[in-house]
Structure 1
Amino acid sequence: DPAERAELVAAFKKFAAGCEERSQRVLPHVSTVDAARDMDLLRAVLGDEKLTYVGASYGTLLGATYADLFPDRVGRLVLDGAMDPTRSAIDLNRDQTAGFETAFTSFAVDCAKQPDCPLGKGGPEAVGARLKEFFRKVDAQPVPTGEADRPLGEALATTGVIAALYDESAWPQLREALTSAMNGDGAGLLSLADGYYERGEDGKYANLMFANAAVNCLDQPPAFKDPAAVDAALPSFRKASPVFGAGLAWAALNCAYWPVEATGQAEKLTAKGAPPIVVVGTTRDPATPYKWAQALAGQLDSGTLLTYDGDGHTAYGRGSDCIDTAINRYLLEGKAPEDGKKC
């Protein structure tokens, strides 16, 4: 829809202008390389000869960047829910889109087995089609949430679903929230979306999403330069995820209007000379697809891959004794798990 497209572009421009107005001096200096160098200063101030570090999600890119810059200062590094530093911005977004489809498929299979599944029975395609239809309906007619000025439209509903895919323990909550929304009460999905965006009861937001954009837009050239580029990529995003593809493709336009030019690019990180670095991947991770962990472990000269066959984002401290024991032994005793170990 041209009007919705214009509204989205205006929102991205407003967001970029607001960041420039409030943080102009710091914006050119928040790249992952800058943060890794800051981390080394902290190591030195603390008097540690080597850095011991557990990084999750984006923190894996930060840890791998540190190791590549300072391989001789690496102690025991765990990179859980790994990113692949060789992937371009558009590939990262498209890969992640496929990751959310993988996670949704896992949820859909489980949901169809439950007596309270609001998306009905059948395979993942049928369940996904019903979710898409729900998104279409709330886009046309947002659902009340109990907050007069915050009805549940397609964007917030999608974010609420995505938020629950990060942790399989949230699946029952997602089923309940979807059931309520389909019956005219969007409060449950709104709550999930607010948690994802770290919105407080006072209506104010933590800076996680803002900082994430500032870092990403500096680390690599934008995934898309304009709406026409998004249009061209839509088929591949829809193929990656029939449920989330279009929305996530348009979300990847956010860096197109950023006020600071990117200073980094996609590149291989090897950390040559570093001691063993443990890279952890979850097979059905929505946000950091498993193939990224495989790729990073293969790039790092001393990378060792630890696999969790399961759902959710990251693995350490999320209920797998096998994963936790392997990582704790490495952190406490320095004994890295055998490359390729699976839990």
Structure 2
Amino acid sequence: MDTSRLLRTTGTVIAAAGLLLSGCTSGGSGEPRAAASTSPESAAPSAQPAPDGAAMRPYYAQKLTWRDCGVPGFQCSTMKAPLDYANPGAGQDVDIAVSRRAATGPGKRLGSLVVNPGGPGGSGIGYLQAYAGIGYPAAVRAQYDMVSFDPRGVERSSPVECLNGPAMDKYTQVDQTPDDPAERAELVAAFKEFADACRTNSKRILPHVSTVGAARDMDLLRAVLGDQKLNYVGASYGTLLGATYADLFPDRVGRLVLDGAMDPERAALDLNRDQTAGFDTAFTAFAKDCAKQTDCPLGKGGPDAVGARLKEFFRKVDAQPVPSGDPNRPLGEALATTGAIAALYDESAWPQLREALTSAMNGDGAGLLSLADSYYEREADGKYANLMSANAAVNCLDQPPAFSGPEAVDAALPSFEKASPVFGAGLAWAGLNCTYWPEKATGKAKRLTAKGAAPIVVVGTTRDPATPYKWAQALAGQLDSGSLLTYDGDGHTAYGRGSDCIDTAINRYLLEGKAPQDGKKC
């Protein structure tokens, strides 16, 4: 459930399942090469550009006090931001958690490089400390302070809180392809219960977690770090955050990489349907590969035949869930579908998906349940990160809901099932989650041009499941200074995933400021 428009880098999607992805590690056990600076404070020089208005000046003038994070080589701090940017300084602030790893040298220091892993709802600090701060190319880490933050409403930054662990377990098992009025009513009731819990537990923060708010926080972070311009790598949903920043503050754009791009001009219904087609593209690639393998549990033949067998498997576990090792969470259709979708984010997970499907078809659903848990960021003790809560909160503020009610889903079902015969129905019904949201949307789909900004690199992967390639083409075309870099390949996002061509082009841009030629293909 709620798998549509959850946009993250492959590392954040599957790390909890124990996979070692290309260019990505699931843990933070590696020792950084050099310790971060021990300087206790970082002040923004008075020359830093800031929005007009006396009420914002104290926020831009604040100093960050750095402390040990408990993770070797990293420091942490807390930044104050207005809860409501329309009324700053009214005594209502939000704490934004920040982490950094100082440039390791040698070479000229280029300032800070802020990274975001997507979501919305992904923890930037978790991503920085587990991967980006130790796994980005050594030359980039040598010249940049690696920095990230948990956006407002996420994890360490006034998190949105909705359902507790046991309630989330129940929520993730609700049938997402209702076959009769009773199942439809159960699904609608689940969405309403989730929304009501968010309103009850997060009343203060819930109206203020939009992407625009997070982008304004990012400019505040730029200033208090002491940087004249924002240097940034955003993946997946992080591309929308970066593009929003560039449109708000084009004169403060430094070197921006938007990898696995979203199209800000697409309305929620179109985004969900496009993403459904993206997962079908990824599944087609998986199916072709699976049919060639001796251990493919879905048999031989073309993608249509393989897809029909997977859909039949989903139908069987819908009727009769299989044991998973957790007596309270047998593997039904909802969890099985989420597990399969999680593995489609990265082709290195295909062997694990084949193994998990084989086991599930033989009565052991533990493998697919593990993949689903990684997607939902559920820990072994039954606790969930606030990913799903923050994801809904941001998406439902950023745009009006995709559907007005179940009847609208019925009308759209044929187009979703055409986009993906295997996943279409479930992803269509997942788009109902914002229909019952307690806060009215404050944003809408709109063209982002960032007129006057320095060159911005937009990266698209041709068979990306979560952010279809046409979204990257669209964003690069909208941005006044957008430069499209294409990776002809599988998986979600491209930087740091094994393509020397992609990595060389992006590294050169980050280190030398030379954007690849618009239209370059790898």
- TM-score, with normalisation over the residues of structure 1? 0.99
SS at match of 1:52: strand
Report the Cα distance in structure 1 between the residues aligned to 2:354 and 2:445, rounded to whole angstroms: 38
Which of residues 239, 242, 263 is equivalent to 1:63?
242
Question: Match for 2:391 among 212, 222, 236?
Answer: 212
Among 347, 351, 375, the residue aligned to 1:168 = 347
Pairwise CA RMSD: 0.5
Higher relative contact order (CA 8 A, sep 6+): 1
Report the Cα distance in structure 1 between the residues aligned to 2:510 and 2:381, rounded to whole angstroms: 39
Q: Which residue of 2 aligns with 1:338?
A: 517
The residue correspondences of 1:1-343 to structure 2 (distance < 5 A) are 1-343=180-522
Give 3-state SS (helix, strand or coil) of 2:451's partner.
Answer: coil
Letter in 2 for 1:89: A
> Which of the pair is proportionally richer in helix?
1
1:14 partner SS: helix
Q: Which runs of 5+ in 2 are unaligned?
A: 1-179
Unaligned runs of 5+ in 1: none
Greater alpha carbon shift after TM alignment, 60-69 vs 202-211: 202-211
Structure of larger gyration radius: 2
| Structure 1 consecutive aligned stretches of length 4 or more whose deviation exceeds 3 Å | none
User: How many Å apart are 1:309 and its aligned residue?
Assistant: 0.5
| Matched AA of 1:192 | L
TM-score scaled to structure 2, two decimals? 0.65
Number of matched residues?
343
The share of aligned pairs that are identical, in percent, is: 88
Specify the SS of the correspondent of 1:213: helix
The offset of 1:3, in angstroms, is 1.1
Quick one: which amino acid aligns to residue 174 of structure 1?
Answer: L
Matches of 1:283 and 1:174, distance apart in 2: 21
SS of aligned partner of 2:232: strand
Instruction: Output the CA distance in 1 between the equivalents of 2:257 and 2:385.
Output: 26
> How many angstroms apart in 2 are the aligned matches of 1:288 and 1:322?
21
Q: Cα deviations across residues 45-77 of structure 1 (Å, max 9, x unaligned)?
A: 111100000000000000000000000000000
Alignment partners' CA distance in 2, 1:288 and 1:111: 23
Q: Secondary structure of 1:203's match?
A: coil
Amino acid at match of 2:270: D
